[in-house]
Structure 1
């Protein structure tokens, strides 16, 4: 089974997304390292900038086949060839509605163009992918005719795209089974997610004999997007037992890289790569996971397999076993009575709609257990922030880190961003800011803001903390420092320091 990734082409057609040349090259290298066999780098004929990007990708990546997109035009094919790609993806609308309203050609004109341009493309490169655009709404007899014309002209693979995402798995399976019999070439599918069925339709196509499937990182693409790379790959590998060549433990880092460059955050509930994909809050679930992970996880897909980590979450559904385990991780051992009080206080806060952070748990436990607060490793000595209408926001912070003064300065997209970056520059160990959330807990221009910060250390461990202030910059700084101190506290407990 071959995976064809079109993040750099269809994925970039996500409204508001535009990758730079350097970003496209880095994403392509990451996809190749993740084991993707074919990477569609873009549509060279669309602009000079796109030609530059496709050419750069083709030059930078040699461990995967690089593909360029072309309409049924010789000059489009020439643009792909000039970029040095190893595959040309030629497409033409075949449904009556698209053919009549987009390219305004007759069925015979489409057949003639297909035969001519596919043959021309095959003279230039060893691999030609032909797409009958909007195939799932194309008359079946005509679809067979145009696909056969493409194969006769030299197409090495035929794509049956569900361009507007209208198929169901049952219908997709029947269509691909028919195509496998009718078309004497490997069948590829490209499924859109308009009804949330892209991955299901892709898997149904595989069941029917499709030899290649098209995917995008994080399911990006036109409208509701395409079949998601991580979901498709892991379903094929873990459920169907089909080898895809994907290096599964790189799926999470690939997802995060593309998320960062696209400026689109990964939903917490996103399967496989979302923050909650292997997180557990419910007491029954957390208890089961502590005893044996397979109780409330698939088992055939573990967090480690996809580069993820399992995490117990705090909230009003949290149970005794999860809280006891999290406290034990920092050498806190409450007795049963104290644990009951800790749980009661936590759930009272959560029931008011407030998120419970890791730092909240430890502070509550210290109070209930009568423990002296842990001396923080990092403390704020001073902060200065400068911003203006025509100046770059700049922050300077002075921190006491393990008894020594550290000073950090940075610019940012705003005063909060500048302050966060300045703090991180004072640390010896790298810390990644994963999540920043702010909410108002009082009204008026002097409203109290509550900031919650989530950070991740180099080993992938995640910690969160919060702070409140009528100055949002100060609240943000305090929350970040609380999170860093929590991170160092847990790390120290695990190393016995």
Structure 2
């Protein structure tokens, strides 16, 4: 059972709009094929009632009404009427699964509590509702007051209850305890149907859910992205993968839709999915180390059963300091680009250089890097930038102070400009005209490109066209910093000119 719309909405700061709830319900029932969903708590608000009613009307038309469940309370039939008038058919009745809760919160004896439950079950049955029973705080109850739990169960085992639901309400159990206590319930009441409802306070919700299923528990509860009270509930994606791979269970859930649903719920909830969260995290199917990519090329040595395609995703190979040529090759394959070994080596070196300047080099950056390397890295380095300083102050023109080396000799210059790059170019122009007595080309076009999906740390490709004595030269620079990319393009242009001049002199 998925309880994203009920328990998941109890995540701090999460409140789904009515249309968002309807959208999530459709995704869960029709795209993922979840068998049951819990959509609301009775009597919460007028808005919740209108949402639940609208969702039940939709579910009735689509043949899903028996899959809709709503949390109800021991409130003299008020929850029953609320749920019935919504059009729902199943009430998940909340009762107390520990003696402490019964004694201190309800201030009743176990027998008084049993009578209240029996009366509510009777009323629900009279209006045609099916009943599941939540034993709230059961994990504390079974540890510290097992006689209370068994008294409650013995009194209710013959009632018209479809499922007895065992919550680890405060997320206190570990897998060994879960195994022990769920097994005790199953052995004592072999003819009853049980669900297990895990919370993630110790980051053990998935492990505890797995342990519960080993005892023969017939149902488990989860939420999309692990949303829920405090540290959340067992995450749907992890539970499904564990059930399919480790329990060898058949759930009917459509694995290849989980990533799509996760992303939509992420956007609706505003709660970001951690990049390393299993199955759905942004980076969990990304190999970073070059040795892993190399192993994948050699009989998939670094694959496991969690193939990304199962979950509507694909394997990626990160580009950075640790990636190596194997990762580059994998990315080139996906882009349909073929390079010789020497070119791959040079591209890899450039990726490593660039990864020192930005958080991540993306596959979208790769064509720009290849273009930069293959077009310009064979140019002889007659002109080099030794250092430069760019000053930008509010109310004053930018200033550039530079030192360059031309054919082994150092020249310095300074200038103001209408922008930092303009000041840089004017400083070089001064050196060429005043110190070298040379013509400096005129800039005819300046273009900045950012790879698709780029953020503020994206690589920037700057392409500049120059007119040098009637000849058009086009050079490009690539860097995480736009100014640095423009300076690279400028220095490449000066080296092309030096090559031309030296060729003329030699001939």
Whether 2:215 is the aligned partner of 1:213: answer no
Query: Is 1:25 the equivalent of 2:31?
Result: no
Alignment-derived partner of residue 418 in structure 1? none
Compared with structure 1, are the counterparts of its residues 86 and 371 closer, same or farther at alpha carbon in structure 2 (3 Å cutoff)?
Answer: farther
CA change 1:436–1:356 in 2 (3 A) is closer
Q: TM-score, normalised by structure 2?
A: 0.70
- Residues 456-484 of structure 1, C-alpha deviation per residue, up to 9 Å, x if partnerless? xxxxxxxxx996569xxxxxxxxxxxxxx
One of 175, 183, 205 as aligned partner of 2:181: 175
For residue 267 of structure 1, give the secondary structure of its aligned residue in structure 2: coil
The 8 Å contact of residues 96 and 137 in structure 2, kept in 1 or not, is answered as yes
* Corresponding position: 1:302 with 2:307: yes
- Which residue in the other structure is 1:115 paired with? 118
Q: Secondary structure at the match of 1:153?
A: coil
Output the CA distance in 1 between the equivalents of 2:140 and 2:454.
44
Instruction: Say whether 1:289 aligns with 2:292.
Output: no
Q: Deviations over 1:14-69 (max 9, x none)?
A: 11111111111111111001111111110121111111111111111233610111
Counterpart in the other structure of 1:349 = 354
Counterpart of 1:474? none
Mapping of residues 366-377 of structure 1, within 5 Å: 366-370=371-375
Q: Would you say 1:160 and 2:158 are equivalent positions? A: no
Aligned to 2:97: 94
Decide whether aligned partners of structure 1 residues 353 and 149 sit closer, same or farther in structure 2, where only a CA change above 3 A counts. farther
* Pairing partner for 1:70 from 65, 69, 72: 72
Structure 1 contact 88–125 (Cα < 8 Å) conserved: no
Q: What does residue 151 of structure 2 align with? A: 145
Q: TM-score, normalised by structure 1?
A: 0.72
Q: Give, in angstroms, the shift of residue 235 of structure 1.
A: 1.2
> Which one has a bigger Cα radius of gyration?
2
Contact 2:365–2:459 (CA under 8 A) maintained in structure 1 = no
Partner of 1:36: 34
The CA deviation at 1:228 is 0.8
- Uncovered stretches (5+) of structure 2, i.e. residues with no partner: 378-451, 461-477, 484-507
Taking a change above 3 Å as real, the CA distance of residues 328 and 91 of structure 1, as seen in their structure-2 partners, is closer
1:108-145 Cα deviation digits (max 9, x unpaired): 32222122212322333353110110001011121122
Contact 2:293 2:330 in 1 (8 A): no
Q: Secondary structure at the match of 2:252?
A: coil
Shift, 1:247, TM fit? 1.2
Structure 1 stretch 205-214 or stretch 360-369: which is displaced more?
A: 360-369
Q: 1:54 to 1:344 in 2, by over 3 A?
A: same
CA distance in 2, matches of 1:170, 1:321: 43
1:14 to 7, 11, 17: 11
Whole-Å separation in 2 of the counterparts to 1:355 and 1:277? 15
Aligned length, in residue pairs: 382
Alpha carbons of structure 1 residues 255 and 329: separation in structure 2 relative to 1, 3 Å: closer
The alpha carbon displacement at 1:317 in A equals 1.4
1:338 aligns with 2:343: yes
Residue 150 (structure 1) shift: 3.2
Distance 1:329 1:132, change over 3 A: closer
Deviation at 1:451, TM superposition (A): 5.0
Shift of 1:249: 1.2
Superposed CA deviations along residues 320-376 of structure 1, whole A, max 9, x for unmatched, are 12202323444543333332232223223324563212344333322332279xxxx
Match of 1:125 in 2: 128
Q: Distance in 2 between matches of 1:342 and 1:110?
A: 72
Aligned to 1:380: none
Query: Partners in 2 of 1:127 and 1:452 — Cα distance?
Result: 59
| Residues 93 and 99 in structure 1, CA contact (< 8 A), matched pair in contact too | yes
- 1:194 has 2:223 as partner: no
